[in-house]
Structure 1
Amino acid sequence: MTHPEQPNTEPQNEELQENKYLRRIRSFVLREGRLTKGQQRSLDLFWPTMGLEYQTTPYDMKAVFGREADLVLEIGFGMGKSLVQMAKAAPEKDFIGIEVHKPGVGACLGEAETEGVKNLRVFEHDAIEILNDSIADNSLSTVQLFFPDPWHKKRHHKRRIVQPEFAQLLRRKLKIGGVFHMATDWENYAEHMLDVMKVAEGYSNLSETNDYVPRPDHRPLTKFENRGVNLGHGVWDLMFKKVN
C-alpha cells in the first residue's frame, strides 16, 4: 500500500486515491441492535451455507453458486425481506446482499430458509470494502441501493454513499449493460443522486424523461414504503445503465 505521504508519481495513484477516499467515508452508523433468539439461531444454522466472509481477492461466483447466472448485488438490505422476495421471484438469477447490521443478516437468513431460497448469499461487512476487494470487475448485472441513509442535514451530505467516486467504483464492477438501480423517499437525496449520475462517465439514464423511472415490478413495495405512500410521501426510483 502506498504511504499517504508518498508523492503521486504513478498513473495508478488516481485510482488509489479514489479507493482511499471511498474506504474512509462511512455512509452508515453502526447501530448494533440486540439479536433475537431466532436471528441468532438463523446465523448459527444458515451462515455456514449462505454467508460470505470478506476477503481481499474476488470470489469466483460461479463456484459459490454452482452455476453461471446474472448476478444481482444489493447494498444495505435491512432485514432482508424484500431481497428474499426478489431472489424467490427470479430463481434464474443469483443474488448477493451486503448489510452491516447483524440482526438484519440473521433475519434475512431466516427468511430465506423459510421461503426455500437457495440463490442468495450475504455479507456482513462494509460495502465499499466488499466492492473493492471481494467482487470481481465486470461481474454484476445489477446493483441495488434502496432507501439508503439520506443524511438529510446539509453538513452531512458528504456522507451520502452516492458520490462520483462511488458511481465509478460500481461502473468497474458492472458488466456492460448492467444497471445501477437506486430508490429513496427523500426528494433532496433523489435530486442529489440524479445530479451525480447524470454527469457520471460511462452511464446512460434509463428514464424516458431523463430523470426518474416508475417503480419496476421486480422491486417489492415494502410495508414501510407503502405506509409512506399512503401518507403522501413520494418515492423516487433511478436506473442507470453502464454503456462503456
Structure 2
Amino acid sequence: MIEELRKHQKDGRRYERRADTTSVLRQIESLSQEQLVERARIGAKTDPLYLSSECLLHRIRQSRRDNSDRFFESLFRILMARVESAATLRSEIYRLPNGKIAITAFGTKVRDYVVDRFLARLMADRDGYDERLDYFEVNFSHAIASLRVTAKKKAADEERRSQPLSSDDDEAVSAEVEKAAGAFDPFDASKIDDGNYRFRLFAAIKELPEKERHVVALLFKEYPIESNDPDKPSICKILGCVEKTVRNRRDRAFEKLKTALSEEEIDA
C-alpha cells in the first residue's frame, strides 16, 4: 500500500501525488530491489520504463523500512545526480579553451545551496519523516526550481555584501580595489576572441547597475575617459560626469566583472 503524504496545504488539504506518479508506484511495488535499481538507472525520459524523480524519491524514502543500506545507496546516488544536474544553471556553464567544462563561481554557489538543502531534508527524513519532502513527490522539478530561486537570491545578496565598493560616485574606492580593477582588463585581446568568454562577459555586463554598464559599454567602444581635444568625444563628455566619477564607476564595474568571471573547473 502506498503511504499518503502527510503535509497539508494552507486550505487544510493533504498534498497528493499526481495520478501518473501513483500509477507507476503501484506498478513497481512488486519489483525486486535489483529490478528497481535497474529501472532507476534508465536516464532517457523518453524510455517508457524511465522512473520519474517523484517515484524515485518515494522509493528512497520507503527504503528506510527495507534495512538495506546497499539498496538505499544505489538509489541515493542516482537521485542526487539528478538533483545536482537540476540545480546547475545552464547559463553558468561554459567550455574552456582546452575543451573542459567549467561553471562560474555564482553557478557553483547556487548548485551547492540547492544540493545541500535537499540533502539535509533527505537525511532528516531518513531519521524519521520530513514533511518538507512531500511536495517533491508531487512536483519534483518545481520543488527544485523553487530552491534554485532562493539560492540565486542568496548568492546575489552574498556577492553584494562582499563587494568592498562604495555606491557613492563621488566617494573614492579603496586603493586596493582600484589597483585590482586597474590590473584587470575584461576586454583582454587574448580572451575576447573566445566565444564562451565573450558570452559570459556580456552576460555579466548586463547585470551591472545602469551607470556602471554605460561606462563599460563606452570603454568597450574604445572611447577615452577624458580628452583634451574639445572636438573629440570622451566618456566624461558623453555621460556629463567628472573624471573621478567615471573612474569610480569603472573600478566598481571591473571588480564586479572580475568576480562574475571567476570560474571553477569541473569534470567534463
TM-score range for the pair, normalised by the shorter chain length: under 0.3
Larger radius of gyration: 2
Structure (1 or 2) with the greater helix fraction: 2
TM-score by length of 2: 0.22
Structure (1 or 2) with the greater strand fraction: 1
